[in-house]
Amino acid sequence: MKHKTKTGLKIISKNRKAAFNYFFKEFFEAGIVLKSSEIKSIRTGKVNISDAYAYDHNGEIFLVNSHVSSYKESSYNDHEPLRNRKLLLNKKEINKLIGRINREGFTLIPTKLYFKKGKAKVEIAVAKGKKEYDKRHTKKTRDWNREKARFFRRSS
């Protein structure tokens, strides 16, 4: 699943369900506090952030429910796959995020996990959950765009 983009980012994992389930308002880039066996497992691509979210606790932001598989070669220093991981942000960014998520309906959702200059980073989005009719509308516009593309391909 690892692939490089034009900007030099090596994307490890994407949260594809998030765009369908949430409206994104703003994006932030954060570092992650990891153990050595976790970073080795992430480098091999054995990570899943599809069910993850972030919350604040005592003025710090933590990533919850992100699954990093255990590293096979680590012996007694192995990590818990579903442990809470602290996100590294500036105090100003943390205060901004806490203010945003205390509003009604907003949450922090990770959208991408990638390497930037050798450091593991996660892109988190301030998001608001979609209702069922919003999801139906998204599905309808996606299908319409697909049909429109097929029509233009056939006509030209």
User: What is the rounded CA–CA span in Å between residue 23 and residue 126?
Assistant: 9
Structural domains of the chain, with CATH: 3-130 (2.40.280.10)
Q: What is the pTM of this model?
A: 0.77
Give the tens place of pLDDT for each residue, 30-49: 999 888 778 888 888 888 88
Instruction: Give the model's confidence band at 145: pLDDT under 50 very low, under 70 low, under 90 confident, else very high.
Output: very high
